Amino acid sequence: MHRAVFFDRDDTLIKNIPYLKNEELIEVPPGIREYMSRLKKAGFLLFIVSNQSGVARGLLTPTDVAKVNRILLEKLGRTFFEKIYLSFEGPSQEINWDRKPQPTMLWTAAQEYNLDLKKSFFIGDRLADVLCGRNGGCKTIFIDWGRKDLDAFISRKLATFIAGSLFEAIEMILAPLNR
Ligand SMILES: [Mg+2]
């Protein structure tokens, strides 16, 4: 079985621009490929797990999302990532089947790639990420951008680890004691 690192997309890998369509606005942190390379060398499979409710809201099409993600992967290093899992559901839907914090996308990944979720990590900046990771049985790293809202408050309580940046989160995963 493989270990995985699941990344949230918006405000984790890239700055969140709500309902992002314009791929020219995508900016990844300089030097990020080096970190992805180190995770791969440590034996992790890498995934992106993203809620894109703009589709349910009619503000984005799946094609818009795919176009942005294609450019994103180019910038991050396409070969480092196995797959991007997306939920297009909106929060006001009566039942959410795959939208984070449901662990559905993690379960799908676990099945498709033979993952050991208990030895895997979820990195994200929202409570939905921390809960999704927890619900799937992963260790969770909350990227704390210093928000003062309830979402951030509960995330700090529930996450396995708290990091001040994406790179700090990745260093925590690479630290042998945390694995
Ligand atoms: Mg986010």
pLDDT tens sequence for the chain (179 residues): 999 999 999 999 998 888 888 878 888 999 999 999 999 999 999 999 999 999 999 999 999 999 999 999 999 999 999 999 999 999 888 889 999 999 999 999 999 999 999 999 999 999 999 999 999 999 999 999 999 999 999 999 999 999 999 999 999 999 976 66
Q: How far is the CA of 66 from the centre of ligand 1 (A)?
A: 17
Domain ranges of the chain: 3-178
8 A C-beta contact, residue 129 and residue 110:
no
pTM, whole model, 2 decimals? 0.95
Q: How far is the CA of 126 from the centre of ligand 1 (A)?
A: 6
The pLDDT score that the predictor gives to residue 133 is 98
CA-to-CA separations, 45 to 15, 41, 100, in angstroms, rounded: 23, 10, 20
The pLDDT score that the predictor gives to residue 110 is 98
**Residues in a beta bridge with 101:** none
Q: How far is the CA of 177 from the centre of ligand 1 (A)?
A: 26
Just give the CATH number of 3-178.
3.40.50.1000
Q: How far is the CA of 27 from the centre of ligand 1 (A)?
A: 14
Closest-CA residue to 100 (of 48, 145, 63): 48
- The residues near 16 (Cβ < 8 Å, ≥ 6 apart) are 10
Q: How far is the CA of 11 from the centre of ligand 1 (A)?
A: 5
Q: How far is the CA of 50 from the centre of ligand 1 (A)?
A: 8
The pLDDT score that the predictor gives to residue 22 is 81
Q: How far is the CA of 78 from the centre of ligand 1 (A)?
A: 20
Q: How far is the CA of 39 from the centre of ligand 1 (A)?
A: 20
The pLDDT score that the predictor gives to residue 178 is 64
The pLDDT score that the predictor gives to residue 4 is 98
Q: How far is the CA of 12 from the centre of ligand 1 (A)?
A: 6
Q: How far is the CA of 80 from the centre of ligand 1 (A)?
A: 20
8 A C-beta contact, residue 1 and residue 113:
no
- Pairing assessment for the beta strands 121-124 and 44-51 based on DSSP bridges: unpaired
